[in-house]
Amino acid sequence: MDGIAIRPARVEDVDLLDAALRALSADLGDTHRATAEDLRAAGFGTAPAFRALLALRGGSAVGAAVFSPLYSTTRGVPGAYVSDLWVAASARGAGLGARLLTAVRDEARALWGAGFLRLAVHEDNVRALAFYRGLGFAPHPGETSLLVAGAALDRIGETG
Protein backbone atom coordinates (compact mmCIF):
# COMPACT_ATOMS: atom_id res chain seq x y z
CA MET A 1 0.00 0.00 0.00
CA ASP A 2 1.90 3.09 1.24
CA GLY A 3 4.63 1.22 3.09
CA ILE A 4 3.32 2.39 6.48
CA ALA A 5 2.82 -0.19 9.22
CA ILE A 6 0.98 0.62 12.46
CA ARG A 7 1.91 -1.34 15.58
CA PRO A 8 1.98 -0.96 19.37
CA ALA A 9 4.99 0.93 20.65
CA ARG A 10 7.51 -1.09 22.63
CA VAL A 11 9.97 0.10 25.26
CA GLU A 12 12.75 0.06 22.66
CA ASP A 13 10.66 2.55 20.62
CA VAL A 14 10.72 5.25 23.31
CA ASP A 15 13.07 7.51 21.35
CA LEU A 16 10.86 7.28 18.24
CA LEU A 17 7.76 7.97 20.33
CA ASP A 18 9.46 10.88 22.08
CA ALA A 19 10.47 12.43 18.74
CA ALA A 20 6.93 12.04 17.37
CA LEU A 21 5.36 13.66 20.45
CA ARG A 22 7.91 16.48 20.38
CA ALA A 23 6.99 17.08 16.71
CA LEU A 24 3.30 17.19 17.69
CA SER A 25 4.01 19.74 20.42
CA ALA A 26 6.03 21.83 17.95
CA ASP A 27 3.25 21.63 15.35
CA LEU A 28 0.73 22.88 17.94
CA GLY A 29 3.03 25.43 19.56
CA ASP A 30 2.62 23.60 22.88
CA THR A 31 5.11 23.36 25.71
CA HIS A 32 6.66 19.90 25.80
CA ARG A 33 7.84 18.75 29.21
CA ALA A 34 7.87 14.96 28.89
CA THR A 35 11.26 13.39 28.33
CA ALA A 36 12.02 10.00 26.82
CA GLU A 37 12.65 8.78 30.36
CA ASP A 38 9.23 10.11 31.47
CA LEU A 39 7.61 8.21 28.59
CA ARG A 40 9.53 5.05 29.44
CA ALA A 41 8.42 5.17 33.09
CA ALA A 42 4.79 6.15 32.39
CA GLY A 43 4.17 3.93 29.40
CA PHE A 44 6.34 0.90 29.89
CA GLY A 45 6.81 0.50 33.63
CA THR A 46 5.05 -1.89 36.00
CA ALA A 47 1.72 0.02 35.85
CA PRO A 48 1.54 1.71 32.42
CA ALA A 49 -0.46 4.95 32.38
CA PHE A 50 -0.87 4.91 28.60
CA ARG A 51 -0.61 2.81 25.47
CA ALA A 52 0.93 4.05 22.26
CA LEU A 53 0.82 3.10 18.61
CA LEU A 54 3.44 4.03 16.05
CA ALA A 55 2.99 4.38 12.31
CA LEU A 56 6.32 3.42 10.77
CA ARG A 57 7.70 3.80 7.28
CA GLY A 58 10.97 1.95 7.22
CA GLY A 59 12.58 2.78 10.54
CA SER A 60 11.03 6.23 10.83
CA ALA A 61 7.90 7.23 12.73
CA VAL A 62 5.42 9.07 10.51
CA GLY A 63 2.55 8.88 12.98
CA ALA A 64 1.77 8.20 16.61
CA ALA A 65 -1.21 7.85 18.91
CA VAL A 66 -1.18 7.84 22.71
CA PHE A 67 -4.28 6.66 24.57
CA SER A 68 -5.42 5.41 27.94
CA PRO A 69 -8.49 3.68 29.39
CA LEU A 70 -11.40 5.48 31.00
CA TYR A 71 -14.80 4.33 32.17
CA SER A 72 -18.19 5.93 31.67
CA THR A 73 -20.99 5.01 34.05
CA THR A 74 -23.48 6.82 31.80
CA ARG A 75 -22.43 4.73 28.80
CA GLY A 76 -21.87 1.61 30.89
CA VAL A 77 -18.70 0.71 29.00
CA PRO A 78 -14.99 1.44 29.07
CA GLY A 79 -13.57 3.84 26.50
CA ALA A 80 -10.24 5.20 25.41
CA TYR A 81 -9.00 8.75 25.82
CA VAL A 82 -6.74 9.74 22.93
CA SER A 83 -4.36 12.28 24.43
CA ASP A 84 -2.06 12.60 21.41
CA LEU A 85 -2.45 11.98 17.69
CA TRP A 86 0.31 13.02 15.29
CA VAL A 87 0.90 12.52 11.59
CA ALA A 88 4.12 13.77 9.99
CA ALA A 89 3.70 16.47 7.36
CA SER A 90 5.11 14.05 4.77
CA ALA A 91 2.30 11.56 5.47
CA ARG A 92 -0.67 13.93 5.80
CA GLY A 93 -3.64 13.82 3.48
CA ALA A 94 -3.48 10.07 2.84
CA GLY A 95 -5.78 8.86 5.63
CA LEU A 96 -3.12 7.96 8.19
CA GLY A 97 -4.86 9.86 11.00
CA ALA A 98 -8.03 7.83 10.47
CA ARG A 99 -5.96 4.63 10.26
CA LEU A 100 -4.31 5.46 13.59
CA LEU A 101 -7.67 6.12 15.24
CA THR A 102 -9.00 2.86 13.82
CA ALA A 103 -6.00 1.08 15.32
CA VAL A 104 -6.61 2.81 18.68
CA ARG A 105 -10.26 1.69 18.57
CA ASP A 106 -9.30 -1.88 17.75
CA GLU A 107 -6.51 -2.04 20.34
CA ALA A 108 -8.68 -0.52 23.09
CA ARG A 109 -11.53 -2.91 22.24
CA ALA A 110 -9.19 -5.88 22.43
CA LEU A 111 -7.50 -4.73 25.65
CA TRP A 112 -10.45 -3.52 27.73
CA GLY A 113 -13.63 -3.68 25.64
CA ALA A 114 -13.71 0.01 24.73
CA GLY A 115 -17.00 1.19 23.28
CA PHE A 116 -16.09 4.82 22.61
CA LEU A 117 -13.19 7.20 22.01
CA ARG A 118 -12.81 10.62 23.62
CA LEU A 119 -10.29 13.34 22.81
CA ALA A 120 -9.73 17.07 23.12
CA VAL A 121 -8.90 19.51 20.34
CA HIS A 122 -7.48 23.01 20.51
CA GLU A 123 -10.38 25.34 19.66
CA ASP A 124 -8.29 27.26 17.15
CA ASN A 125 -7.18 24.12 15.28
CA VAL A 126 -9.79 24.35 12.54
CA ARG A 127 -8.19 21.65 10.41
CA ALA A 128 -8.15 19.13 13.27
CA LEU A 129 -11.74 19.98 14.22
CA ALA A 130 -12.88 19.37 10.65
CA PHE A 131 -10.92 16.09 10.52
CA TYR A 132 -12.43 14.76 13.77
CA ARG A 133 -15.94 15.90 12.90
CA GLY A 134 -15.60 14.19 9.54
CA LEU A 135 -14.93 10.93 11.40
CA GLY A 136 -18.04 11.38 13.55
CA PHE A 137 -16.54 12.97 16.68
CA ALA A 138 -18.81 15.63 18.17
CA PRO A 139 -18.87 17.83 21.26
CA HIS A 140 -20.65 16.19 24.16
CA PRO A 141 -23.65 18.43 24.93
CA GLY A 142 -23.65 19.97 28.37
CA GLU A 143 -20.02 19.15 29.13
CA THR A 144 -17.07 21.44 29.69
CA SER A 145 -13.59 19.99 29.97
CA LEU A 146 -11.84 21.02 33.19
CA LEU A 147 -8.35 20.40 34.55
CA VAL A 148 -6.72 20.75 37.94
CA ALA A 149 -2.94 20.46 38.38
CA GLY A 150 0.00 21.74 40.40
CA ALA A 151 -0.69 23.60 43.64
CA ALA A 152 -4.45 23.57 43.04
CA LEU A 153 -4.35 19.76 42.82
CA ASP A 154 -2.41 19.64 46.07
CA ARG A 155 -5.03 21.85 47.77
CA ILE A 156 -8.00 19.62 46.94
CA GLY A 157 -9.66 18.65 50.18
CA GLU A 158 -8.32 21.52 52.22
CA THR A 159 -10.94 23.48 54.09
CA GLY A 160 -11.11 27.11 53.14
pLDDT per residue over 37-78, tens digit each? 999 999 999 999 999 999 999 999 999 999 999 999 999 999
- Asked whether residue 98 is domain-assigned, the answer is yes
Each residue of 103-131: pLDDT tens digit? Answer: 999 999 999 999 999 999 999 999 999 99
Does residue 122 form part of some domain? yes
pTM of the model: 0.94
Q: Please give the tally of structural domains in the chain.
A: 1
Q: Is residue 22 a part of any domain in this protein?
A: yes
Segment 58-63 long-range contacts (CB within 8 Å, at least 24 positions apart): 58/3, 60/16, 61/16, 61/17, 61/19, 61/20, 61/88, 62/4, 62/87, 62/88, 62/90, 62/91, 62/96, 63/4, 63/6, 63/20, 63/87, 63/88, 63/91, 63/96, 63/97, 63/99, 63/100
Across the chain, what does the average pLDDT equal? 95
Is residue 143 a part of any domain in this protein?
Answer: yes
Q: Domain limits at 118?
A: 4-155
Asked whether residue 97 is domain-assigned, the answer is: yes
Residue 160 belongs to a domain: no
Strand order in the sheet with 117-119: 4-8, 51-57, 60-72, 77-87, 117-119
CATH number of the domain encompassing residue 114: 3.40.630.30
